[in-house]
């Protein structure tokens, strides 16, 4: 469910850019100066600020940036927005993305119209949509080794140089679901259903569906099919003896797994707040990004 945004809340804005991308620097400077001209206090994420020397005094790391801002403007692709959403979700910061990447399922604003569209956001024309995140915890011998979040997906998959399957078992709220041999398992949110899970023939879930998709990666048994579960369940994935495995959250944070490790995946208490301008349509976005036909011919 989307809702109108109070533009008066956007007095402090954070700018976040794709790292190691020199083409972002000029766009950052343009957006920064526009925001200052609109009377906003502007901060830059610390790594982003390193791209432009004059921004150093306004640089904050994520720990300080979250409490300091009301709105984050992300310049880059979906990967940059994913990383920002994980860091800022706990602070309730609204996010909007300017697409400087390629596909852009999450970054709504086109680079060609970025100042016009940022102005519309500041004018209160945007609507906020909340997206669920997952939290993953890894336990070894009863001790927690890792705690991470994901807006797209938590993935357990084979590791190392060998093309050998991993073996694991899955339980839902403590009830055994299955034992599987495969290249891995994707646990996807509705947001992530159009990411890695889609390439593995997983279902597309509308963002308003309160569900989690379990999508096997090249399973040994063809009867292992994708399944959608309620979003309030807790999954336990236990790695069995055999070939090495690895855990990824949004493909950006990783942990090497050992036999016996237990991965607990559940809905995060935090949500990402994504902003959309008038005219945004989830179905139109799918048609464009997936290159579906627009409309049936008239009879």
| Catalytic residue annotation | 78
Helices and strands in the chain: count of H runs, count of E runs: 7, 19
Alpha helices in the chain (DSSP H): 22-37, 46-49, 62-68, 78-88, 114-122, 196-199, 282-290
Measured CA angle at 46 (ends 42, 47), to 5 deg? 125
HSE of 294 in the Cβ direction (CA atoms, 13 Å)? 2
Do the strands 109-110 and 94-99 form a parallel or antiparallel pair, or are they unpaired? parallel
Q: For residues 203 and 190, give the distance between their C-alpha atoms in angstroms, rounded to a whole number.
A: 9
From the list 206, 195, 202, 248, the residue with the least C-alpha distance to 81 is: 195
Q: For residues 257 and 279, give the distance between their C-alpha atoms in angstroms, rounded to a whole number.
A: 44
């Amino acid at each position: 469910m989307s809702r109108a945004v109070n533009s008066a809340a956007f007095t402090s804005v954070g700018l976040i850019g794709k790292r190691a991308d020199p083409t972002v620097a000029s766009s950052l400077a343009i957006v920064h100066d526009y925001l200052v001209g609109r009377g906003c206090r502007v901060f830059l994420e610390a790594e982003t600020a390193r791209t432009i020397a004059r921004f150093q005094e306004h640089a904050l790391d994520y720990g300080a940036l979250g409490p300091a801002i009301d709105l984050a403007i992300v310049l880059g692709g979906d990967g940059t927005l994913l990383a920002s959403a994980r860091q800022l979700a706990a602070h309730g910061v609204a996010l909007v993305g300017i697409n400087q990447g390629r596909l852009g399922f999450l970054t709504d604003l086109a680079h060609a119209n970025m100042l016009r569209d940022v102005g519309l956001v500041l004018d209160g024309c945007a609507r906020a949509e909340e997206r669920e995140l997952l939290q993953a915890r890894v336990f070894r011998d009863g001790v927690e080794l890792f705690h991470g979040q994901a807006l797209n997906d938590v993935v357990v998959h084979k590791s190392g140089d060998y093309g050998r399957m991993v073996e694991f078992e899955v339980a839902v709220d403590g009830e055994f679901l299955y034992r599987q041999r495969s290249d891995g398992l994707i646990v996807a949110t509705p947001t992530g259903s159009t990411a890695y899970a889609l390439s593995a023939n997983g279902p597309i879930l509308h963002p308003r569906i309160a569900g989690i998709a379990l999508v096997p990666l090249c399973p040994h048994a063809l009867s292992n099919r994708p399944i959608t579960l309620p979003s309030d369940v807790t999954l336990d994935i236990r790695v069995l003896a055999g070939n090495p495995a690895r855990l990824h959250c949004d493909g950006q944070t990783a942990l090497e797994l050992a036999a016996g490790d237990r991965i607990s995946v559940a809905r995060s208490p935090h949500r990402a707040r994504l902003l959309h301008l008038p005219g945004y349509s989830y179905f139109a976005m799918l048609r464009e990004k997936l290159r579906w036909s627009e409309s049936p011919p008239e009879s």
